[in-house]
A and B are shown apart, each in its own frame.
Chain A
Amino acid sequence: MAMTIHVDIVSAEGEIFSGVAEMIYAPAVMGEVGIAPRHTPLVTQLKPGEIRVDTGSGKDMQHFYVSGGILEIQPHVVTVLADTAIRATDLDEAAAQEAKRRAEEAMADRSAEFEYAKAQSELAEAVAQLRAIERIRKGKRG
C-alpha cells in the first residue's frame, strides 16, 4: 500500500475535508506546493486558489477552493486553515477603522441604540419596582 498522509481542511465556519491522501497540492504564496507523506515541517500562507487532494486508489482528485489561509505541514499531518473572508491588509485596516469609528460614535453621541439599551434597563427596573409595590398593596388588602 502506498504511503499516505492525513489531511484536514477546516475553515472558521465549518470542517471542509478530513481524510487520508497520497498527495496534496496547495497554492502557497511563493508558488504551488505539492506535499507528499513525510514532508518536512513547514508553515506558509496560502493565496486564493485551488487545493487538490489525491486520495489515491485510482479515484479522482478532490478539489477545494480557498480564498487564502494558512498551511501547516507535519510529517504525517497536513492542516489547512482556510479563510472564509477575503483578506487584504488594506481591507483589514478599513474594517478596523470602521470598528473604531463606531465606538467613538457610540461614546460621543449617546443616542439611538445606546440610549435604547439604557432606557430598556431603566424600564426593567421601573417595572420591577411597580411589581413590588403592587405585591405589597395586595398583601395589605388580603
Chain B
Amino acid sequence: MAGAKEIRTQIGSIKNTSKITKAMEMVAASKMRKAQNRMAATRPYAEKMRKVIGHLFHAHPEYKHTFMIEREVKRVGYIIVSSDRGLCGGLNNNLFRKLVKELKEHRDAGTEIEFCTIGNKALGFFGRFGGNIVSQATHLGDMPHIEDLIGTVKVMLDAYAEGKIDRIYIAYNNFVNTMTQSPTFEQLVPIPSTMEEDLKHHWDYIYEPDSKEVLDNLLGRYVESLVYQAVVENGACEQSARMVAMKSASDNAKNLIDELQLIYNKARQAAITQEISEIVGGAAAV
C-alpha cells in the first residue's frame, strides 16, 4: 500500500494548518470590525480639521505659514504607512511596488528622497531599498495613539521648516471596502490649496495669542491628524486584507484535503483489490 501513510500524514498537517488559518481569519474579522469603528470615530475630527483649514485658506492671514507656501522641489519626504505583521496578502507589497515606481520618477528627475516609515514592513523594505530613513515608528498595535506618531511626524515637519525637505507626501492604503484597499499617495505639505480664491469679502480671524503661534500649532496638528487617520485606515485595511487572505488559504486547504482524500481512498482501494486478487490467486493455485 504505497504512499497511503504519507498521504494520511500530509492530510493531517494540512488540516492543522487550515485550523490556524481559520482561527486567524476569525480573529482578523473581529479586529477588522473594531478597526472600522475606530476609523469612523476619527472621521469627525479630520472633517472638522479640514473645515477649519478650509476657513483659514478663505481668510487672509497677514502671516503666511511655511506650510502654505510652495517652493522649488529639490528633496521630498515620504511618510510610508505599513503594517507591522505579514500574512495579509499583497497589502504592503502592492503599496511598495506602486511607490517604488513613483520614487523612480523622483530619482530620474534628480530629486532626493527621505523616508519616514511607520510599521515594520516599511522599515524592512525601505531599509533594503536604499534610502535615508530619518524617523520611524513600529509596534503601534491594534489601537494606535496619536502620541506614538507625534515625534515621528515632527522630525519630518522640522526638516520641512528648516528647508531640508521641500515637499512631504504620505503613502498608505485607503480602505474602500472589505475586499478592496487602494494604495494612495497624498501631498501633505505644503498644504495643497484646492480652494479657489474667494474674494467675496476680505476677512480674517482674531488670533490669540498671535497668528504665528496659532498657525504653527494648528497646521502641525492638521498634518498629524492626517497621518493618524492614514494609520488608522491602514490598520483597517490590514485586518480586512488578512481576513481575505486567510479565508482563501482556508479554502485552498479544504480543496487540497479533498484532493488528497480522493488519492488516499484510491490507493487504499487499490491495495484492497490487490490483496483480494492475491488471496484468490493463491486459493486457485492450491
Contact = CB atoms under 8 A, between A and B. Distances in A.
Instruction: Tell me whether A and B are bound partners.
Output: yes
A10 B123 contact: no
B218 A96 contact: no
B12 interface: no
B151 A44 contact: no
B49 A42 contact: no
A13 B231 CA distance: 12
Q: Which of the four size classes fits the interface of chain A?
A: 35 or more
B146 A40 contact: no
A103 B214 CA distance: 30
Nearest to A115: B124
B178 interface: no
B127 A99 contact: no
Interface in A85-123: 85, 87, 92-100, 102-103, 106-107, 110, 113-114, 117-118, 120-121
A81 B135 CA distance: 26
A10 B45 contact: yes
Interface stretch (B97-105, B165-173, B203-211, B238-246): B203-211
B36 to A, nearest CB: 14
Interface of A: 8, 10-15, 18, 28-30, 40-45, 70, 72, 74, 79, 81, 83-85, 87, 92-100, 102-103, 106-107, 110, 113-114, 117-118, 120-121, 124
Interface of B: 38, 41-42, 44-45, 48-49, 51-52, 55-56, 59, 86, 116-117, 120-121, 123-125, 127-128, 133-138, 145-147, 150-152, 154-155, 158, 203-209, 213-214, 217-218, 221, 224-225, 228
